[in-house]
Structure 1
Amino acid sequence: MTDINGTSTDALATYRTQTSNASSTQGSDELGQDQFMELLVAQLTNQNPLDPQENGDFIAELAQFSSVEGIDKLNTSVESMMSDYKSSQALQASSLVGRQVVVKQDTAYWSGEGNVAAMVDVPEGATNVMLSITNSAGALVGEIPMTKAVPGENGILWDGKDNEGNVLPAGAYKFKATGVVDEKAKTFEVYGSAKVNSVTLAGGDMMLNVAGVGKVPMSDIREIFE
C-alpha cells in the first residue's frame, strides 16, 4: 500500500501544477473541481493509518482549493468585462466619425466653410488675451482678441477669415494664445478642433484619425460638436 502523507499540501500542489500546465493547452485538459475531489479522496483512502489526515488540515485544503478556484473565476470575469468594455468603447468611438472634436493640440483644420472651434486655458489674473492664427507656412493670418476671457477653459469660434475679412483657403492652421500674467507675457495652452475621419484600434487604445492633424488618443478629446 502506498504511503501518502501531507494531503493538505499534496492535493493542492498537484491541482496548481496541472492547472498551470493546462493554461497553455486546451481547456478540457484542465484539472477541475471533480478531478481535484477524486485526487483528494484517493489520497485520503491511501493515507498512512498511523498518521491520518487531521480534520483541520482537510478543511484548510478545501478552503485553499476554493480560494484558487475563486481567483480563476475572477480572472475570467475580469477578462470578459474588459472585452465588453473595449467593444463599448469601439462603438462609442465609431459614432464620432464625421463630427468635430476639440483635442489637445494647437492645430485645427479649416474645411472652407462653417466655423472652427478652439479652446484656450486661461490662468487666473490673465489680461490682454489674444488668439493668433498662422497658416502652414507660419505666416500670421488672423488675430482674435479674447476680451471676455475668464480663468479656466474658454471656447472660441473662428470663421476662417483673416483680419481683413477675406475667406482663407481650406487647410491646417495653427492657434497660439498669449496674454499678460503678473506683468509678464505668457503663452497659454490651446486646444484646436477638426473633423474625425475614422477610428482605429492601436495597441489596445482607441485612436481618432483627425483631419489635418493625424492620430489622436480618444482620451484627449475635450469637447464634441454636432
Structure 2
Amino acid sequence: MAGINNVGQGSLSYLDQLKKLQDQSKTEESTGKQDLKQEDFLSLLTKQLSQQDPFKPVSNDQMIAQMASFATVDGIGKMNTQFESLNSSMTSNQALQASSLVGRDVLVPGAAGIKPADAGMAAMVKLPQSMDNVLVRVENEMGQLVRSFDVGAQPGGDARVEWDGKDDQGNPMPAGKYRVKASGLMEGESREFEVSTYANVNSVLLGKGDGNVLLNLAGFESPVRLAEVLEVGKA
C-alpha cells in the first residue's frame, strides 16, 4: 500500500488504520456500536486517497483489490444475515411440526421412564444379535428391584418390551419414575443392553437461539431435543 503522510496520524498504513478501527470498535461495544461495516471501509479508503503521497499515489491494482475486499466483506455480512433468517424460519417450521406431538408418546434414549397411574410402561431394547432369552428388570427410583421377567428369544435389533405395572407378587405399583434394564447371555457372559423408554409430550418450546426445538416430557425435569426422538407413538 502507498504511504499516508499525515501529521496527525504519522505514517500509519491502510492495514494499521483498519486494525485501529477494529480495536476501537471492540472497546466501544458497550456503547452499542456495531462491528465494522462497508461504510467504515469506504470512509477509510476515502481518507487514504485524500492523504496519500502525491509522489506515490495508490495504483489502480491496489484500488481494485481494496474495492474487491470491501465487496467481499459486505457480501459475507449479507450472507450471514440470510443464514440467520433461514435458520429462524426452519426452527419455526420445526416447532410447528413438533406441536403435533403434544399428547403423544415418543421414544427417547434412557432407561428411566414414567409409569402413569393404573397402567404399565413400555421400553425398547437394542440387541446386537438374536438372543435365546432376554431378562428384563424394573427398578424404582431408589434402585430397588420391583419386577423381573423373561421375554424369551428375540431377534437382533430393536425389541419392544412391556411391563404391566405390577411387582413380582402381582401388586400394582404406584405412578412414578422407574428404570428398565435388560440383559442376556452372549458367548457365555451376561451383558447389559441399551434401553430407551417412552414418554408423553406435554409441550414444545424453542431453544435459546441455538435452532433447537425442545420437548417437555411428562415426568422429566429437563426438556429433550426433538432430534433425540427415536420413534413417535400412534395418535
Higher strand proportion: 1
Amino acid at match of 1:209: N
- For residues 94 and 31 of structure 1, the distance between their equivalents in structure 2, rounded to whole angstroms, comes to 40
The equivalent of 1:122 in structure 2 is: 127
- For residues 133 and 33 of structure 2, the distance between their equivalents in structure 1, rounded to whole angstroms, comes to 68
Secondary structure class of the residue paired with 2:74: helix
2:14 to 10, 14, 17: 10
- For residues 90 and 169 of structure 2, the distance between their equivalents in structure 1, rounded to whole angstroms, comes to 50
* Bigger mean CA offset, 47-56 vs 205-214: 205-214
Contact 1:111–1:171 (CA<8 Å) still a contact in 2? yes
Unaligned regions of 5+ residues in structure 2, if any?
6-12
The equivalent of 1:140 in structure 2 is: 146
Structure-to-structure mapping, 1:39-54, within 5 angstroms:
40-41=45-46, 43-44=48-49, 47-54=52-59
Normalising by structure 1, we get a TM-score of 0.74
Normalising by structure 2, we get a TM-score of 0.72
Establish whether residue 223 from structure 1 lines up as the match of residue 227 from structure 2: no
Secondary structure class of the residue paired with 1:128: coil
- For residues 70 and 45 of structure 1, the distance between their equivalents in structure 2, rounded to whole angstroms, comes to 26
- For residues 31 and 214 of structure 1, the distance between their equivalents in structure 2, rounded to whole angstroms, comes to 44
The equivalent of 2:107 in structure 1 is: 102
Secondary structure class of the residue paired with 2:69: helix
Contact 2:103–2:201 (CA<8 Å) still a contact in 1? yes
- For residues 4 and 161 of structure 1, the distance between their equivalents in structure 2, rounded to whole angstroms, comes to 86
User: Post-superposition shift, 1:63?
Assistant: 1.1
Establish whether residue 86 from structure 1 lines up as the match of residue 94 from structure 2: no
Establish whether residue 77 from structure 1 lines up as the match of residue 82 from structure 2: yes
- Over residues 79-136 of structure 1, what are the superposed CA-to-partner deviations in whole Å (9 max), with x where a residue is unaligned? 2233233333433443322111111111222224566331001122543212223344
1:152 to 134, 149, 157: 157
Change (3 A) 1:113 1:46: same
1:174 to 173, 179, 182: 179
Amino acid at match of 1:140: V
The equivalent of 2:196 in structure 1 is: 191
Amino acid at match of 1:57: Q
Change (3 A) 1:17 1:127: farther
- For residues 140 and 38 of structure 1, the distance between their equivalents in structure 2, rounded to whole angstroms, comes to 75
Change (3 A) 1:140 1:18: closer
- Aligned residue pair count: 218
- For residues 127 and 13 of structure 1, the distance between their equivalents in structure 2, rounded to whole angstroms, comes to 75
User: Post-superposition shift, 1:30?
Assistant: 6.4
- For residues 125 and 65 of structure 1, the distance between their equivalents in structure 2, rounded to whole angstroms, comes to 63
Determine what percentage of the aligned residue pairs are the same residue: 35
- For residues 82 and 17 of structure 2, the distance between their equivalents in structure 1, rounded to whole angstroms, comes to 24
User: Post-superposition shift, 1:140?
Assistant: 2.5
Unaligned regions of 5+ residues in structure 1, if any?
none
- For residues 79 and 120 of structure 1, the distance between their equivalents in structure 2, rounded to whole angstroms, comes to 39
- For residues 39 and 106 of structure 1, the distance between their equivalents in structure 2, rounded to whole angstroms, comes to 61
TM-align CA RMSD: 3.6
User: Post-superposition shift, 1:188?
Assistant: 0.9
Change (3 A) 1:19 1:79: farther
